[in-house]
């Protein structure tokens, strides 16, 4: 039976002790909730893949609570001097925080954590509850986002309970996640540094410290490129995406939902769509005030909510593409692709 724990010290101790014993504990982080397990316990790692129904070729992120923990994970000899310098600068500037770095791994890091790759993903989260749980447990906690594979990431304990509640031991409720999109993933283990996933740390901030970075092209996504599978973050309804400010009133069908970037965009839309009655449509906005931080924090909660309300389709406009907009649009693309995959699957079942 799964139990929801509070974020108070006695409950954090229960969570940490469960992790030490190889149990699965969902923990709050500043980005999304993670499904935690001791990174050095192979049975616990296998249980993470089973609970998420995640293919074992998609590796996990190992979470740490102090820089010294890198010594148990990273093969510094395999890191070029340039990459060692990038690691030093990025960890100084952005850790703890929403940045994951891919680094050459020590042989002692279980292959299950890295799906057999020679590299390990490491993140030092900023969330005080996550840090306390990691520090009190084993200091190295593998944690993918706490959603079943292919579904929306959770930004509240309730999202985790609804999606994985029957398959895990504990959820630590730390309230809503303040950042709301997953960490930015920076690869320092291949021949040149590149961003594998845009996320909660925006590219401009990273580039200000590290210099210009390549961003892995979304069009080159293959199932064997970790983390790049398109079938992620699915709401069940088909998602139709528009450029920012270009949501098309003529495309709407009864029973469909509208998702706007800001309150201002919504108002501007109803002026253009003067033949439609706003009261007839299920409508959400990501931000009241054109704030990227507010929009990122709201994104998954709004998609979860729309998923529960089960509209016939969702018409969404993209975020303005600067700053965190890059990460938000990446999640919207993935939601659209995932909705297509689900639609194809259910079409196949009908035959």
- The binder of 143, among ligand TXA, Mg ion, none, by C-beta within 5 to 8 A per type, is ligand TXA
Shortest gap between Cβ of 29 and Mg ion (angstroms)? 12
Shortest gap between Cβ of 330 and ligand TXA (angstroms)? 11
Give the footprint of ligand TXA on this chain (CB under 6 A). Answer: 29, 31-32, 34, 58-61, 100, 102, 114, 117, 119-121, 123, 143-145, 182-183, 185, 196-197, 226-227
CA–CA distance, 194 with 213 (Å, rounded to integer): 6
Give the footprint of Mg ion on this chain (CB under 5 A). Answer: 145
Shortest gap between Cβ of 294 and Mg ion (angstroms)? 22
- The binder of 127, among Mg ion, ligand TXA, none, by C-beta within 5 to 8 A per type, is none
Between 114 and 145, CB nearer to Mg ion: 145
CA–CA distance, 268 with 281 (Å, rounded to integer): 15
CA–CA distance, 262 with 116 (Å, rounded to integer): 43
- The binder of 58, among ligand TXA, Mg ion, none, by C-beta within 5 to 8 A per type, is ligand TXA
Between 146 and 252, CB nearer to ligand TXA: 146
- Cβ atoms of residues 299 and 331 within 8 Å: yes
CA–CA distance, 300 with 296 (Å, rounded to integer): 8
CA–CA distance, 344 with 273 (Å, rounded to integer): 31
Between 156 and 262, CB nearer to Mg ion: 156
- The binder of 152, among Mg ion, ligand TXA, none, by C-beta within 5 to 8 A per type, is none
Eight-state DSSP code of residue 181:
S
φ/ψ of residue 220, rounded to 5: -95, 15
Residues 6+ apart with CB under 8 A from 228: 196, 197, 216, 218, 220, 221, 222
Shortest gap between Cβ of 66 and ligand TXA (angstroms)? 16
Shortest gap between Cβ of 281 and ligand TXA (angstroms)? 32
- Cβ atoms of residues 254 and 85 within 8 Å: no
């Amino acid at each position: 039976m799964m139990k929801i724990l509070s974020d108070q010290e006695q409950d954090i101790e229960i969570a940490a002790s469960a992790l030490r014993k190889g149990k699965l504990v969902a923990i709050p982080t500043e980005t999304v909730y993670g499904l935690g397990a001791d990174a050095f316990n192979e049975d616990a790692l296998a249980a993470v893949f089973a609970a998420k129904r995640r293919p074992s070729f998609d590796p996990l992120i190992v979470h740490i609570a102090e820089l010294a923990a890198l010594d148990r994970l990273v093969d510094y000899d395999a890191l070029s001097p340039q990459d060692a310098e990038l690691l030093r600068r990025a960890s100084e500037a952005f850790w703890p925080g929403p940045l994951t770095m891919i680094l050459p791994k020590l042989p002692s890091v279980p292959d299950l954590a890295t799906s057999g790759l020679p590299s390990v993903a490491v993140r030092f989260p900023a969330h005080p509850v996550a840090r306390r749980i990691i520090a009190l447990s084993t200091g190295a906690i593998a944690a993918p986002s706490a959603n079943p594979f292919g579904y929306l990431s959770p930004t509240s304990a309730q999202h985790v309970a609804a999606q994985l509640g029957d398959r895990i031991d504990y959820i630590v409720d730390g309230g809503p996640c303040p950042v709301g999109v997953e960490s930015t993933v920076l690869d320092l283990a291949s021949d040149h540094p590149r961003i594998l996933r845009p996320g909660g740390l925006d590219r401009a901030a990273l580039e200000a410290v590290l210099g210009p970075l390549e961003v892995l092209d979304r069009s080159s996504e293959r199932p064997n490129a970790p983390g790049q599978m398109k079938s992620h973050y699915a709401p069940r309804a088909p998602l139709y995406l528009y450029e920012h400010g270009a949501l098309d009133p003529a495309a709407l069908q009864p029973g469909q939902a509208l998702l706007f970037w800001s309150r201002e965009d919504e108002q501007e839309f109803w002026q253009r769509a003067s033949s439609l009655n706003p009261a007839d449509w299920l409508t959400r906005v990501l931000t009241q005030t054109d704030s990227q931080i507010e929009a990122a924090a709201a994104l998954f909660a709004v998609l979860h909510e729309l998923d529960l309300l089960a509209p016939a389709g969702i018409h969404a406009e993209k975020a303005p593409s600067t700053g965190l907009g890059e990460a938000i649009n990446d999640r919207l693309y993935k939601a659209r692709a995932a909705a297509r995959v689900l639609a194809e699957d259910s079409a196949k079942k009908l035959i």
